[in-house]
Amino acid sequence: MLKQRYVMSALAAMLVLSVSASALVIDTEVIWGTRTTIDDIEIVAGGHLIANARVDMGDGGATLTLNGGDFTSNVDFKLPDDWGPATVFINSGTFHANQIEAVDKTGFGYDLSYMVIKDGLLKIDTGFGAGGNYDATTWIANTMLRAADGYELVVNDLGSGAVEITAVVPEPATLVMLGLGGLSLLRKRK
């Protein structure tokens, strides 16, 4: 009886997930236990995708969009390095991964895959500060990880290779106060 109920729940979840023909929309908790390649997924409020096996972004043009939902990868999450580009949009919600691999292959004629953070949170458990394909500082330097237009990245090093990255809108009042302070210093010099 329990096994039958589990199968029925899984079938119901699959029906709920495929609301859109262009993207798989997740609005409930879904758990993946085998290596999976994704093409277009949107995780909305109330949705939580948990990956317990490696997740690869699919062939060129694949997107993973967080619009209020959460994505957790307990193992590797891989942006494509030779068939990209793929894009992850963290508009709101949390993207939490054990580690993420992103390889800059633009010098080899491939398009660059990238991640964009707006009002969400990117949390990575390992690899920060180590350099190379698993390090967010490398991705920021080559624009594979960037803030949405009008936002700035804020990097919080949690130590031991863990990091949290968010994006904030620069506060206009602070910029105005700095400008006024600079003007007053110039005026006093004359």
Whose tokens are 């990238």? That residue is 114
Whose tokens are 């729940």? That residue is 9
**pLDDT tens figures, 165-189:** 999 988 776 667 667 776 776 666 5
**pLDDT tens figures, 32-73:** 999 988 889 999 999 999 999 988 887 667 899 999 999 999
Alpha-carbon gap, residue 104 to 110, rounded angstroms:
9
Structural domain tally of the chain? 1
With 70 as the cut, is the pLDDT of residue 152 above it? yes
- Residue 78's pLDDT is 82
Residue 15 structural domain: 2-189
Q: Do residues 166 and 120 make contact, with C-beta atoms less than 8 angstroms apart?
A: yes
Whose tokens are 């991964």? That residue is 97
**pLDDT tens figures, 85-121:** 788 999 999 999 998 887 766 555 555 788 999 999 9
Backbone angles phi, psi at 132, to 5 degrees: 85, -160
